[in-house]
Structure 1
Amino acid sequence: MTVGPAGAGGLRERKKQRTRDALARAALELFTTQGFEETTVDEIADAADVSQRTFFRYYASKLEVAFAVQEVVEEHFLASLRSRPPEEAPFEAMRNAALGAWDTVEEVIAEIVPVELHMRTYLIIESTPALLAVHIRRSLKTEETLSRILGEREGLDVDTDPRPRLAVAAMSGAMRVAGRLWGEGSDHSVRAIRELIAHYMDHLTPALVGPWRDRPEQGAGIGHSERFRP
């Protein structure tokens, strides 16, 4: 059976995607085992069994390849938010999108890297100044995209109505706290970070609008340490 022009094009695209994925996988393996700064482009290319020239055909730098899988995960989260039912309140939609994205992250990136490698990459990002700086810039860009998605959902102009950006900033703050505590802990699984994110997001609204300790008029009740226990 002969392969027509369309079929040949599809094969070429799949081959390109396999090469791109192989480079990302090789890079993350090297970054997480020997360090980002210590890893060279030549080592990444050798590990993927391609030339340095081929590496630069797919990625502009080590920094770009370091975030290749994270970009896929971020797009998955954004798509999840866009697909939330319109009757969900903004914060509810963000919470459900974030947790739903974590529930399905393994299958989303399975063809690129094992999920355990992806999770180890987060630890390297947090401990490498050059990667952390890029991560912060990327996060700010993603927050703006999230704000505009919320604005579209609610029929608001984010440049005149502050609520979308404020809601996203609050959610992002809760997720950053959860991510930091996850990184400092001993369980670096997807389940562990999902549980922390759910816990901190569920306490976000009470922390912003409710009392943090019992008032005399409330009588003796549950104290702060018990009320906010995981």
Structure 2
Amino acid sequence: MQSIEGAAARPAAPSGLRERKKRRTRDTLIRSALELFSRKGYERTTVDEIAEAAEVSQRTFFRYFANKEEVALAIQSAVDALFLAALRSRPAAEAPLPALREAVLDTWDGARAVIEAVVPLELHMRTYGLIESTPQLLAARLRSLSEVEEGLALEIARREGLDPHADPRPHVLVAAFGGVMRVTTRAWGERGEGGLDDLRELTVAYLDQLGPALAENWRT
């Protein structure tokens, strides 16, 4: 048995190595969970089964995720973070709607690498369908999208030098934009096929309809 002195004398693992190990564990939990959800269904999969598939303890699972909902939506949350980062990187002089449009297209350009760093793209596509068809997950996803839209509105307000509590325009714009994105992803999901390139093309087509849809007279 190793003495306490011997254990204390061992050098601590470098922080970079620890972070890589934590990332691998988290990614393994996500991949294991999504594979189980796809095969067994969300409701019939337990946290114990996810932990067993990932070869960790249940306690380790809860170090990384609060519940099954969180692990199921982990990839979507990563893509949401990519979107907000893309908006923050847009040129300061760019108007709000073009900035949102270009940010979401930048997001789809970079999403493949974010997704495939954790799970196969095909598994991500199946998970999207699972979320749409599982009421508990769909409700959780809509809650998370509400938080994303709040972050986007605050960023638009910051860029424009506005008080988001006094000026409703950032929230109104993001609400309209978010509605277009939900219609787009729903239409894409209903097709049952196609990858991120198809989603990007559909996004462009639907965003091009935002201006005409807001026109006063649709019959001219």
- What TM-score do you get using the length of structure 2 for normalisation? 0.91
Measured in 1, the distance between the counterparts of 2:121 and 2:11 equals 36
Query: Does residue 1:19 correspond to 2:15, yes or no?
Result: no
Tell whether the 8 Å contact from 1:119 to 1:190 is kept in structure 2 after alignment: no
Runs of 5+ in structure 1 lacking a partner? 215-230
Give the corresponding residue for 1:112. Answer: 118
Runs of 5+ in structure 2 lacking a partner? 1-9
In the alignment of these two chains, the number of paired residues is: 211
Letter in 2 for 1:147: A
Give the corresponding residue for 2:58. Answer: 52
Query: Does residue 1:150 correspond to 2:162, yes or no?
Result: no
Give the corresponding residue for 1:220. Answer: none
Percent sequence identity is: 55
Give the corresponding residue for 1:224. Answer: none
Q: Deviations over 1:168-203 (max 9, x none)?
A: 001001111111111111324111221111111111
Give the corresponding residue for 2:182. Answer: 176
Give the corresponding residue for 2:97. Answer: 91
Within 5 A, what are the aligned runs for 1:1-230?
5=12, 8-214=14-220
Measured in 2, the distance between the counterparts of 1:79 and 1:110 equals 19
3-state DSSP class of the match of 2:164? coil
Measured in 1, the distance between the counterparts of 2:128 and 2:154 equals 26
Measured in 1, the distance between the counterparts of 2:121 and 2:110 equals 11
Alpha-carbon distance, 1:8 to partner: 2.2
Measured in 2, the distance between the counterparts of 1:146 and 1:33 equals 35
Letter in 2 for 1:120: R
Letter in 1 for 2:64: Y
Alpha-carbon distance, 1:9 to partner: 2.4
Measured in 1, the distance between the counterparts of 2:182 and 2:100 equals 15
Measured in 2, the distance between the counterparts of 1:85 and 1:9 equals 35
Measured in 1, the distance between the counterparts of 2:64 and 2:153 equals 30
Letter in 2 for 1:9: S
Alpha-carbon distance, 1:212 to partner: 1.7
Q: Deviations over 1:21-79 (max 9, x none)?
A: 10011111111222111111111112111122221221121111111111111111100
Tell whether the 8 Å contact from 1:106 to 1:114 is kept in structure 2 after alignment: no
Measured in 2, the distance between the counterparts of 1:119 and 1:94 equals 24
Q: Deviations over 1:127-165 (max 9, x none)?
A: 001001111111111111100000001101111111100
Letter in 2 for 1:57: R
Bigger mean CA deviation after superposition, 127-136 or 44-53: 44-53
Letter in 2 for 1:37: E
